[in-house]
Structure 1
Amino acid sequence: MKIYSNFLSGKIKVISLVSNHVKLALEVDNHTKKGQWFYFKVYSTKNTKLIIELNVKNSYYNGWEDYNVFISYDQKAWFTVRTSFDGENISFFIFLRNNILFASYLIPFSFEKYRNLKSYLNNFDYCSTVSLGITKLGNILQLISCKKRSALKKVWFISQQHSGETLGQFILDSFLHNLVNEYNQLLDTYEFFVIHNANPDGTFLGNMRHNSEGVDLNRAWHNSLTKSLEVTLILQRMQKEGVDILIDLHCDELSDKIYYVPPIIRDHDFSLQQRKFEKCLIKSAKIKKLDNINAIKGANDPGMLVNYAPKLFNCVTVLIELPCKFQVGINVERLLHKVGIAFLQALEAFQDN
């Protein structure tokens, strides 16, 4: 039996492999003392039942109660397996029907899937992918844009500022596929700018929150430095194109529900458009506002994009938090696909207003 993590986004620390009992531990993000993300491959004989014990005491958030791990045999179809939590370790049983099995904190969005999305969008002359620049580790920070003409509203989506929060990419995959097929009339009103992965270095390293320099990008917008190059590159393009609506996609390690968080700014003229858009989110997308904003750690931080963008661009802004906890048996990718369509419906309703 062997445990591997030497692939894109792979991350795990092997403690011991004794008989059918595997002991592992979280690897921390580089330049930090915390972690949350894990992604590894198990290789063993067919029809083997293993118990995995994963030490999570160095995690950012103690959100392991009622958490269920993601498992796949081929890195394409993923399902959840129930875990138990004893205060320091999560444990779960896995069955290797073949020689190989993968386990991950959340469903990874593969490079192949992203490449297929870009290839599909190339069929439409109003869609393009451009490089915003090269990151510290030599990865390309990319922007997907869809625009037929100079429209009235510039809509931005940002995903994966925290590289381990992968679920936003599935929403954007659905959003873009459905935009060019079923909802392309929205292109008469909106121009769309999509940062599918704002932290490619963090993805490469298997980090949960930070980039390669140990910077939390979603705390660096008000004071972007050389160590947050990704923020600088995105801001430069935003200032060039303009921003009217911005949706920032994240995942909440403690939650089993999707919700949104508004900015702390409360200017009267701005708030009118903000409230209209929030009503569209609630009515069309069925996404509710978090009742207690102060429950979000750092919710008032001026370095968060949701708080910084309205001051700079006077734009409508929401932070969307997706759950990290899913019940066993739920088709998570299908759920995220529906959320992508729901955003289109919310923008359609906002357009009508």
Structure 2
Amino acid sequence: MLKYFFPLVVLTTFSAFSQANDCQFDDVTFHDDFSTARLSTCERLAKHEYHIGILPENEPVNPSPWFGFKVQSEQNAQIKIKLTFNGNTPRYLPKLSADGTQWQNIPFDSKGKEMWISLNTGKEPIWVSAQEVIDNQEYDNWLASLKNQQPTLEIETLGLSEKGRPIKALVKQSAKNKEWLVIIGRQHPPEVTGAMALFAFSEALLLDDALSTPFFERFNVLMVPDLNPDGVETGNWRHNANGIDLNRDWKNFAQAETRLVRDKMASIVRNGGKIVFAVDFHSTFHDVFYTMPDDHDLAPIPLMTGWLSDLDAETGWVFKTVNKSASSPDRGIFKQYIADHYKVHGVTYEVGDNTNRQLIPYVAKQAAKALVENLLDVEPEAFYVDQK
């Protein structure tokens, strides 16, 4: 359980002000020199008391304030930091790391829309972040590790993001298989728990012989785990480099990232394949699966309820499976595009921001197992829609 820090009274006289990137006051320095960092403004409020301001990439924006910075001091000191988020309420509980890799929750307090933390600093920098850091390099390392363990996997670059970063896909296919499962992730940069679930779900699907052997005798997989590398790199709250929410662009396709996945799926269909199911990993305030309503007559109708019922039966002792069906016409959401264009099920797999980190991979692996079993129970003819 977290302990909470209650700060001293804040002084109202500002003795210094600085614009990030690096902020240095007395012997204390704040840095944003790492991938995913976000540090907008710095103020010195009093000796060893500071104000860090966090601004969004543009507005309007979904208020999911991401923050990330390093701090160090010439002498060992305890400092107090006030975090503000451009008038928005904080969403994420602060994390601390000594190396940028291993993370732990840290005590905090809140006052209105302010968050306060207390840190012990020294010559070695410490990292503070809204969530654990999963940056673009970690995706590259993970994909390479998967291929090393399963050489039949293909790593394909679909194209480049708006800022020229590669959009990488993992493809597992057999020429005789026509049915495709599509997995995407990280449309929204701060949604790290969704990334954790995608990793565990995909590893179970690709590396567990008990699942992969029967599954890949019939199905192919297209996975794009890091769809918004520009936003991830710069610690955006929600958007890509052009200030656009990618999960609202699956109608206009104004952004390179969504067009690349759309065109890859279209190429699959042109070459005789069929998209039969799609899952998009996200994070929100609690665990929930957003599905399409039954009246959409998606192929096959019982697949979604069967999958989530089986998942609940296996994990119900520790995890509540929540299924919320909703249609979002004209909003440009990925699952809606899958339903409208391919006439099959798309689901948004949402993981709670503060869901137990041990629980996330367990549930995701069980979700992969239940999905495989339910997909294998569906006769190929049941995916009856002509997608050409």
Q: TM-score normalised to the size of structure 2? A: 0.78
Change (3 A) 1:306 1:283: farther
Tell me by how many angstroms 1:46 deviates: 6.4
Which of 1 and 2 has greater Rg?
A: 2
The SS at the match of 1:211 is coil
Give % identity. Answer: 19
Q: Which residue of 1 aligns with 2:168?
A: 142
The residue type paired with residue 53 of structure 2 is A
Shift, 1:109, TM fit: 0.8
Match of 2:41?
14
1:273 maps onto 2:303 in alignment: yes
Please state how far the C-alpha of 1:299 moved relative to its aligned partner: 5.2
Counterpart of 1:82 in structure 2 is 107
Does the 8 A contact of 2:198 with 2:281 survive in 1? no
Q: CA deviation at 1:204?
A: 2.1
Superposed, which structure 2 residues align to 1:1-353 within 5 Å? 1-17=28-44, 18-30=46-58, 32=60, 36-45=65-74, 47-59=76-88, 62=89, 64=91, 67-96=92-121, 99-123=124-148, 124-151=150-177, 153-182=179-208, 183-185=211-213, 186-225=215-254, 228-241=255-268, 242-252=274-284, 255=285, 257-264=286-293, 266-268=295-297, 270=299, 271-284=301-314, 286=319, 288-290=321-323, 302-325=331-354, 332=357, 334-353=358-377
SS at match of 2:304: helix
Task: Give the whole-Å Cα distance in 2 for the aligned partners of 1:112 and 1:212.
Answer: 18
Q: Highest relative contact order (Cα 8 Å, sep 6+), 1 or 2?
A: 1
**Deviations, residues 69-113 of structure 1 (Å, cap 9, x unaligned):** 111111111111232221220112223476211111121213443
RMSD over equivalenced CA pairs, Å: 2.6
Change (3 A) 1:135 1:181: closer
Give how far 1:249 is off: 1.0
Alignment CA distance shift 1:176-1:278 (3 Å):
closer
Q: Give SS of 2:275's match.
A: coil
Asked whether the 8 Å contact 1:262–1:319 carries over to 2, the reply is yes
TM-aligned CA distance change 1:290 to 1:63, over 3 Å: farther
User: Structure 1 pair 122/92, CA: closer, same or farther in 2 (3 Å)?
Assistant: same
**Secondary structure, in 3 states, of the residue corresponding to 2:190?**
coil
Q: Is the 8 A contact 2:36 2:135 kept in 1?
A: no
1:157-205 Cα offsets, whole Å, 9 max, x none, are 1111112212222223223333343232232233221111111111122
> Unaligned stretches of 5+ in structure 2?
1-27, 269-273, 378-388
Secondary structure at 2:220 match in 1:
strand
Question: Is the alpha carbon distance of 1:251 and 1:301 closer, same or farther for their aligned partners in structure 2, counting shifts above 3 Å?
Answer: farther
The CA deviation string for residues 204-230 of structure 1, in whole angstroms up to 9 with x for no partner, is 2221211111111111111212xx111
**TM-score, with normalisation over the residues of structure 1?**
0.85
**Secondary structure of the equivalent of 1:122?**
helix
Distance 1:223 1:8, change over 3 A: same
Kept after mapping to 2: 8 A contact 1:27/1:35: no
Q: Partners in 2 of 1:9 and 1:314 — Cα distance?
A: 36
Q: Is the 8 A contact 2:97 2:127 kept in 1?
A: yes
What is the SS of the residue equivalent to 2:156? strand
> Partners in 2 of 1:147 and 1:299 — Cα distance?
31
AA in 2 matched with 1:4: H
What count of residue pairs does the alignment treat as equivalent?
Answer: 335
Task: Indicate if the aligned counterparts of 1:260 and 1:287 stay in contact, CA closer than 8 A.
Answer: no
